Amino acid sequence: MTVVFYLIAALTVAGALAAVLLKNLVHCALAVTVAFGGLALLFLSLDAQFAGFVQILVYIGAVAILIVFAILLTRGSDVPKDGVFSPTWLTGVAIAAAVFAVIGWAVINSVNAIPQQAAVPHVTVHDIGIALVGPYVLPLEIVALLLTAATVGAVIVAMHEKGGSE
Amino acid sequence: MTPLGGYLLIAVLMFAIGLAGALVRRNAILVLIGIELMLNSANLNFIAFWRYGPHPEALTGMMFAIFSIAVAAAEAAVGLGLVIAIYRHTHTTEIDKINRMKG
């Protein structure tokens, strides 16, 4: 537990909290980008360089841009007059707090029982590439199929309906 | 607190924040952001257990996190496409105003 870990953790959690609490949706998108970046830094601090850079490329480079596009296309940057939280917000907060309490209690009580390896694992991008086309080739192909289907599906869903009522 | 415990607690906190965001906010895009935060906290768990687990050279947790990122990207694209389609139909993205199944 170093100072760097606490700094990155505080940045990540602050970004996530701001994303959930801010009123303007554009500010929320910026805050969630900060949270994604903090998570990428956490991955890097865990010696998972490849996962960290994939996180930066996919989340900051693609998902954050997609979210901003969706906000602008739906004119979500106007702050609604009757509040941004649902009328049943107390129930939602209570459920989230209960989930946090249960999982956090389980983590605190069980983490010392897990054997932990302190040595830094030596894993290069070369190893990950060999593993992706070796033992993990079937999941890789399935993910390729899923991404193709998702791209086509997203375009079809968001496409203009011909002869619609609007 | 061991290093693994610190990372797991951060992941739990992120999951709770994402869950609260998905349950509390009225805008559909913010619900999707909450779901993305929850998926990200799961990825942090995978990477933390991979790093401190007994066999990091097997790459299991790393692979799971990479595939999870790919699936989350597909989910974000389809989800935001659905939000845009609903907005075109109802001219709102606030979930509690979308309460009719018949357009």
Question: Where do the structural domains in chain B lie, given as residue ranges?
Answer: 3-90
- In this prediction, residue B3 carries a pLDDT of 84
Q: B94 forms bridges with which residues in the sheet? A: B27
CB contacts of A42 in chain B (<8 Å) are 7, 10, 44, 47
- In this prediction, residue B55 carries a pLDDT of 82
Tell me the C-alpha distance between A134 and B80, whole Å: 34
Query: What 3-state class would DSSP assign to A85?
Result: strand
Whole-prediction pTM: 0.90
- In this prediction, residue A15 carries a pLDDT of 95
Query: What 3-state class would DSSP assign to A98?
Result: helix
Cα A21 vs. chain centroid, distance in angstroms?
A: 17
Q: Please name the residues in contact with A93: beta carbons below 8 A apart, sequence gap of 6 or more.
A: B20, B23, B24
CB pair distance less than 8 Å for A150 and B75: yes
Q: Which of B40, B71, B80 sits opposite A39 (nearest CB)?
A: B40
Question: Average pLDDT in the B76-93 region?
Answer: 87
List, for residues A131-142, the tens digit of each pLDDT value: 999 899 999 999
Please determine, looking at this structure, whether the domain spanning B3-90 carries the CATH number 1.10.287.3510: yes
The domain segmentation of chain A, as residue ranges, is 2-80+89-123, 124-166
Query: Backbone phi, then psi, for B27, in 5-degree steps?
Result: -90, 135
The Cα of B100 is separated from the nearest Cα of chain A by a number of Å equal to: 16
Residue ranges in chain A modelled with pLDDT below 50: 165-166
Tokens of B5: 């415990």
- In this prediction, residue A75 carries a pLDDT of 78
Q: Looking at domain A2-80+89-123, which of 3.40.190.10, 3.40.50.2000, 3.30.499.10, 1.20.120.1200 is its CATH number?
A: 1.20.120.1200
- In this prediction, residue A166 carries a pLDDT of 45
Please give the mean pLDDT across all residues of chain A: 88
pLDDT tier at B53, thresholds 50, 70, 90? confident
List, for residues B10-36, the tens digit of each pLDDT value: 999 999 999 999 999 888 899 999 999
- Residue A153: count other Cβ atoms within 10 Å of its Cβ: 15
- In this prediction, residue A113 carries a pLDDT of 79
- Residue B85: count other Cβ atoms within 10 Å of its Cβ: 17
CB pair distance less than 8 Å for A48 and B47: yes
Flag whether pLDDT at B61 surpasses 70: yes
What's the ipTM? 0.91
Report which residue type is found at B20.
A
- Residue B15: count other Cβ atoms within 10 Å of its Cβ: 24
Closest CA to A68 of A111, A24, A108: A24
Tokens of A138: 């079937």
DSSP code for A42: H
**Considering only alpha carbons, which residue of chain A is nearest residue B32?**
A67
- In this prediction, residue A1 carries a pLDDT of 67
